[in-house]
Amino acid sequence: MADDLLTILKSSQRAWATGLAIEFDADGYCLNCDANLFEPLSACSRRDLASGDGSELGKSDGRSKIQALHSSSALACNFFDYWRGRDLGPLAESLGIQTRLCGLAFEQKFPTRLGGIAPNLDVVLCGCNGSVFAIESKFTEPFVKSKNKCFLKPKYFPAAHGLWRNAGLAGCQTLAEDLRDGRVRFEVLDAAQLLKHMLGLARSGQSWKLTCLWYSRGGALCKQHAKELEVFSDRIGPDSARFGALTYQSLFDRLASRLGSAHDAWKAYMRNRYFGEPVA
């Protein structure tokens, strides 16, 4: 089922590109970055992606990850980069954010202080009051099951204390220990990644909230992902006030309803490419 959904999603992206005479190679990579985007990346977004640890703008084979039609980064950039330099009010309202926003960024690092590569958050919306609204963006990832989505390295469990508990996240500490000891399992939701992000955000000293923004294709696997998100939120108990989940489809519908004709070109691109098919 996972492989079937992934194949369907990749095929739909190729069909979209073919319909617009956008060239791509046998692996589904556009011949250049701009061909895969609504508009060329802003200078700020290009800087953000270049400084991130995901190699979105460069790979050893000469292609960049963002050139892939099925790229999660391309989806995030197509959705959010458009709003750089524009009024962020409609975006904030659609996300249920009460605070006035003054900027956004991609691939921002919130270190856990454990060494190694710090977790990179896909999108960060910055409140004018210094608060952080972080987004972990998912496109194809939930369509592939993996045991690694439950795995946390031993360094997250020092003998002397609980890292999440000391950061004020007692519920996350309990879930982390449950994952370590096999008391709870997730197959499609990357629970370990979400816990790492919450630890890094908690250690930043800023007011924050994390949202898992994901692409729902409909069907059994997406229902499983939605259910696992509910389990995650339930398992972290009081810390769930700092966590939320939303589909790209729901966010787009909310946002599109708030936008005037000046945004018609962007709405049409996003609807035709990503949101034109009804979700079962």
What pLDDT score was predicted for residue 28?
Answer: 97
Return the domain boundaries, the chain: 2-275
Q: Please state the separation of Cα 173 from the chain's center in Å.
A: 22
Burial 214-251 (b: 16+ CB within 10 A, else e): bbbbeeebbebbbebbeebbebbeebeebbbbbbbbeb
CA separation, residue 126 to residues 14, 97, 99, 134, 147 (Å): 34, 11, 9, 9, 33
- The bridge status of strand 132-138 relative to strand 120-127 is antiparallel
pLDDT tens for the chain, residues 1 to 280: 455 888 999 999 999 999 999 999 999 999 999 999 999 999 999 999 988 776 788 755 578 999 999 999 999 999 999 999 999 999 999 999 999 999 999 999 999 988 777 779 999 999 999 999 999 999 999 988 888 899 999 999 998 789 999 999 999 999 999 999 999 999 999 999 999 999 999 999 999 999 999 999 888 999 999 999 999 999 999 999 999 999 999 999 999 999 999 999 999 999 999 998 543 3
Please state, in angstroms and rounded to a whole number, the distance separating the CA atoms of residues 28 and 134.
29
Q: Give pTM, 2 decimals.
A: 0.93
What pLDDT score was predicted for residue 278?
Answer: 42
3-class DSSP assignment, residue 63: coil
What pLDDT score was predicted for residue 61?
Answer: 59
